[in-house]
């Protein structure tokens, strides 16, 4: 038996990412959970921003934003950026986060986040109260001490210890153990299926 939950948005886990918008002079940080890769070619990320957010105007002004993926240890700063508006506060100053110049876009990246990407807006879709913004990815950065060339990704995700979020429960989590490899673990089942 299953219990129906209605048209729920409770998928989990999702990232709790820090989006930086604006220029070095007026840079602002907004915490977003509605963040996900939308295409590999061209590399594109989708973010959903409520129409009332101060950050939306800043993203539209430059047509650019950075997405910064925090480690689990800075979840309080991440939450702060999601309960405070840049209309009244400088969230870089309040959290102690350090803005670092991006390579390809005007908004800076956050030094204290181990993984960062630089994007330019390619499309906007209005979805009720939200605007879904697609950003093409032009550059990505990882902390040098997390680099591991023996890994397929080029870095060690355990060293990053990424923060994840269970939005419906409003809970921050860290990731657990590695279970296996994508495009590979399913081969065990494939082997068991008898060829006709
Ligand atoms: C964990 C978390 C996730 C959030 N996810 C989103 C989101 O996906 N979209 C959104 O518009 N707001 C989201 N928010 C709320 C904004 O971060 C919050 O309203 C913020 O204060 C807006 O900042 P601004 O006024 O400087 O733009 C989230 C907040 C938290 C704490």
> Residues 68-105: pLDDT tens digits?
999 999 999 999 999 999 999 999 999 999 999 999 99
Per 3-state DSSP, the chain is made up of helix, strand and coil in percentages (nearest 5) of 20, 40, 40
Residue 23 burial (CB < 10 Å; 0-12/13-18/19+)? middle
Q: Are 89 and 54 in contact (CB under 8 A)?
A: no
130 burial (CB, 10 Å; 0-12 / 13-18 / 19+) is: middle
Share of the chain above pLDDT 70, in %: 99
Would you put residue 183 in left (φ > 0), alpha (ψ -120 to 50) or beta? left
* pLDDT recorded at residue 158: 92
Q: How far apart are CA 68 and CA 15, in angstroms?
A: 10
C-alpha 30/C-alpha 35 separation (Å) is 12
Query: Does the pLDDT of residue 10 top 80, yes or no?
Result: yes
Ligand 1: residue whose CA is nearest its atom 19: 82
Q: Average of pLDDT values for 158-183? A: 95
The pocket around ligand 1, CB under 6 angstroms, is made up of 16, 28, 30-34, 48-50, 53-55, 79, 82-87, 165
82 C-beta neighbours (distance < 10 Å), count? 16
* CA of residue 65 to ligand 1 center, whole Å: 15
Rounded to a whole number of angstroms, the CA Rg of the chain reads 18
What's residue 196's pLDDT? 65
Which atom of ligand 1 is nearest to 167's Cα?
Answer: 1
| Average pLDDT taken over every residue of the chain | 96
Question: Could you give the domains of the chain?
Answer: 14-192 (2.30.110.10)
- Compute, in angstroms, the gap from residue 83 CA to the centroid of ligand 1: 7
User: What is the mean predicted confidence (pLDDT) over 53-59?
Assistant: 98
What mean pLDDT is predicted for residues 155-161?
Answer: 94
Report d(CA 32, CA 14) in Å as an integer.
10
Q: How confident is the model at residue 26 (pLDDT cuts 50, 70, 90)?
A: very high
Burial 8-21 (b: 16+ CB within 10 A, else e): eeeeebbbbbbbbb
Task: Determine contact, residues 156/146, Cβ cutoff 8 Å.
Answer: yes
The reply to whether the predicted model has a pTM over 0.75 is yes
């Amino acid at each position: 038996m299953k219990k129906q939950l209605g048209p729920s948005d409770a998928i989990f886990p999702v990232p709790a990412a820090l989006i930086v918008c604006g220029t070095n002079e007026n840079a602002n940080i907004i915490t977003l959970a509605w963040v996900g890769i939308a295409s590999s070619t061209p590399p594109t990320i989708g973010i959903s921003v409520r129409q009332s957010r101060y950050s939306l105007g800043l993203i539209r002004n430059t047509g650019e934003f950075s997405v910064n993926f925090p480690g689990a240890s800075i979840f309080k700063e991440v939450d702060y950026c999601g309960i405070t508006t840049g209309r009244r506060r400088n969230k870089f100053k309040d959290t102690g986060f350090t803005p670092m110049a991006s390579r390809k876009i005007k908004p800076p990246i956050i030094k204290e986040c181990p993984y960062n990407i630089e994007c330019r807006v390619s499309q906007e879709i209005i979805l009720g109260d939200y605007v879904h913004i697609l950003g093409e990815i032009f550059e990505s950065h990882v902390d040098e001490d997390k680099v591991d060339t023996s890994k397929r990704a080029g870095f060690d995700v355990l060293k990053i210890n990424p923060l994840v979020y269970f939005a419906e429960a409003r809970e921050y989590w860290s990731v657990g153990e590695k279970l296996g490899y994508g495009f590979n673990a399913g081969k065990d089942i494939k082997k068991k299926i008898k060829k006709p």
